[in-house]
Amino acid sequence: MATHQIALNFEDGVTRFIECKDTETVADAAYRQGVNVPIDCRDGACGACKCHAESGKYEMGFYVDDALSAEEAELGYVLTCQLRPKSNLVVAVPASSAVCKIKQTKMKAAISDLRQLSDSTLSLTLKGDDLGKLAFLPGQYANLQVPGTDHHRAYSFSSMPHQGEVSFLIRNVPNGLMSGYLTQSAKVGDAIELAGPNGSFYLREITRPLLFLAGGTGLAPFLAMLDKIAAAGGSEQPIRLIYGVNTDGDVVELEKLEAYAKQLPNFSYTVVVVDPESKFPNKGYVTHHLQPADLNDGAVDIYLCGPPPMVEAVAHNLRERGVKPANFHYEKFSSSV
């Protein structure tokens, strides 16, 4: 009997991880662990527990066509009352976490490393016993409480958990609440509370070429994705990252990117800088450097994390080119004060 990890992603962006034996259904495992996923008949007859399995291997028990059609099953839809895992699974639940009575997990941590990578970017590493048990999908974020206040700021994980530590890239915003604390008074050992994981922007199962597009500190989730891919032994599919910033001073974490390029034979990256005086050879915007090979006639999964104008510019560029990617996952962010 094997036990698998199931990531339940609710429609409001909250994720809850549960353990499920391969002899029990996901619905039974969820209720056993206090997660009230939608369910009614438990017999595969009503369809109330219909969800979408985004990755992983599984088996389905008995169900009737009225509850789940053959076309839906072909597209990866499942009934959790009949769903038995054969590997780790990612399951999208079409309900909010509040409806399913899920409380956001809060964790206590302490600053273990704090560095100013550039005038515009900070690197924050937290460590704690709770973080040693933290599970999240690469690309997701956590809400960090600004010490001494009741305010929170959302930041994407820039690493997977390692020995009870996780990292973040944080934009150094003038007069920003969190960046002000980090640059003016924070010190190693300070306590910080975080809650999560959250977000529907995360790495899905890799079945075709990947194109990562990062704007500024939007690089963070891609570092976590590359961390996960490297830990899994790499990818048979090509992975291309285009990393765009405004000035040379905004470019960070090149050593990590270079290390991943050496470790992952199918990974390559390009730095693009808006400033025409940049020392980097690729100048302008990310859209100026999208090559036909990157888009692969649409047979590509695109992941984009950046400010709203960048997301809109890329979407417009794809429409102008007449390219419809197999999947286009994006996360917009703005710098919070």
pLDDT digits (tens, 9 = 90+) for 236-275: 999 999 999 999 999 999 999 999 999 999 999 999 999 9
Residue 130 clears pLDDT 70, i.e. is over it: yes
Q: Which residue type, as a one-letter code, is found at position 101?
A: K
How much of the chain exceeds pLDDT 90, in percent?
82
Res 335: pLDDT: 64
State pLDDT tens for residues 273-286: 999 999 999 999 99
Sheet of 50-55, strand order: 15-21, 3-10, 89-93, 50-55, 77-79
Domains, in order of start, for the chain: 3-93 (3.10.20.30), 106-198 (2.40.30.10), 210-332 (3.40.50.80)
State pLDDT tens for residues 21-74: 999 999 999 999 989 888 888 889 888 899 999 999 999 999 999 889 999 999
Res 79: pLDDT: 96
Exposure string (b/e) for 60-94, b if CB count within 10 Å is 16 or more? beebeeebbeeebeeeebbbbbbbbbeeebbbbbe
Res 43: pLDDT: 87
Other beta carbons less than 10 A from residue 222's beta carbon:
28
Q: Sort strands 89-93 and 50-55 into parallel, antiparallel or unpaired.
A: antiparallel
Whole-number Cα distances in Å, 318 to 285, 310, 333, 337: 14, 12, 20, 32
Other beta carbons less than 10 A from residue 233's beta carbon:
7
How much of the chain exceeds pLDDT 70, in percent?
99
State pLDDT tens for residues 194-217: 998 888 899 998 999 999 999 999
Res 274: pLDDT: 97
Closest CA relative to residue 195, chosen from 97, 107, 100, 96:
107
Res 275: pLDDT: 96
Q: Which residue has the higher pLDDT, 130 or 188?
A: 188
State pLDDT tens for residues 64-77: 998 899 999 999 99
User: Average pLDDT in the 306-330 region?
Assistant: 94
Residue 336 clears pLDDT 70, i.e. is over it: no
Torsion of CA 81, 85, 90, 93, to 10 degrees: 0
Residue 1 clears pLDDT 90, i.e. is over it: no
Q: Is the whole model's pTM more than 0.75, yes or no?
A: yes
- Give the DSSP H or E segment for 244: strand 239-245
Average model confidence (pLDDT) across the chain: 93
